[in-house]
Copies of this chain bind each other. A is one copy, B any other.
């Protein structure tokens, strides 16, 4: 696996370099200064890597798909900037968000411009498959907006089911990984069957990753997770566990506690007490185990798709990527 880590680091460096060259203009300063700030902020470059490894798994080369890899990272950053406005988030990756450091209008325009720049990079290289590639990319935008709309809607709704939740994270998180794989496969000239495999691998990996994020909120070590444990409970976030617990809970006392969480109505209850009460409910109805199983199911499903690939190195790279993504304490 050492060798894959080296490849990852080499690719990451080249992606970071390319990203640092996206903004060539100085003015308007209120547009390009924040964008430069944003694009130098680092990140694991998961989506570009999914695109590149999928391109390689289809017979293509890193050089063929670097522009598209940059495009997908720009698109991902668009979602971060606009989501941060909507969620009123003060910081991201340890730095102030754009709407906090500048203002909301600046952040709206930066997000919009990131979509423009993303397409600019996607359309830089000449591919015969460009229409299919651009269509997949566009599908990504459409679904990610639907996903975020559902997510914001759910905050106000008390009738959200686990099924609704899975549909939402499919659109908000998994789809972007899916289109990364599909576009990589198309650039690599993969046949339909190969692309279908890569697509399903990426989608299921994305699903596992998002449920893991919920799961870690109550199971991780605070220092390893980097967020306050139980934060989702305090915020009344509609997580996999909360929704599952509501479906399973039969005891009136338990359902009352869960409704309080959903209504963000903690009453006189202290935060720590609420978190420990909810955790007990999760244990009682086996909800934490359900979440763990769901994550394992999606991960296994993803890996099963990989079996049909014939290139061992590509297979290892994709598996490594999914494990890296899932690599938080689990």
Contact = CB atoms under 8 A, between A and B. Distances in A.
Nearest to A79: B112
Interface in A137-166: 137-139, 141-142, 145-146, 148-150, 152-153
B85 A108 contact: yes
Contact of A142 (B85, B104, B120, B139): B120
A10 interface: no
A117 interface: yes
B142 A134 contact: no
A contact face: mostly helix, strand, loop, or mixed: helix
A158 to B, nearest CB: 16
B112 A86 contact: no
A293 interface: no
A126 B131 contact: yes
Interface in A95-133: 104-106, 108-109, 111-113, 115-117, 119-120, 123, 126, 130-131
Interface string A196-232: 0000000000000000000000000000000000000
Nearest to A128: B131
A31 interface: yes
Contacts of A86: 105, 108-109
Given A82-B108, A119-B119, A142 B130 contact: no
A112 B115 contact: yes
A131 B126 CA distance: 8
A156 B188 CA distance: 48
A294 B167 CA distance: 55
A82 B112 contact: yes
Contacts of A115: 112, 115, 141
B153 A28 contact: yes
A29 interface: yes
A135 interface: yes
A141 B130 CA distance: 19
A20 interface: no
5 closest A-B pairs by CB: A116-B141, A28-B149, A31-B149, A116-B142, A119-B138
11 contacts: A27-B150, A29-B153, A31-B149, A82-B109, A86-B105, A109-B149, A119-B119, A120-B139, A126-B131, A130-B131, A134-B134
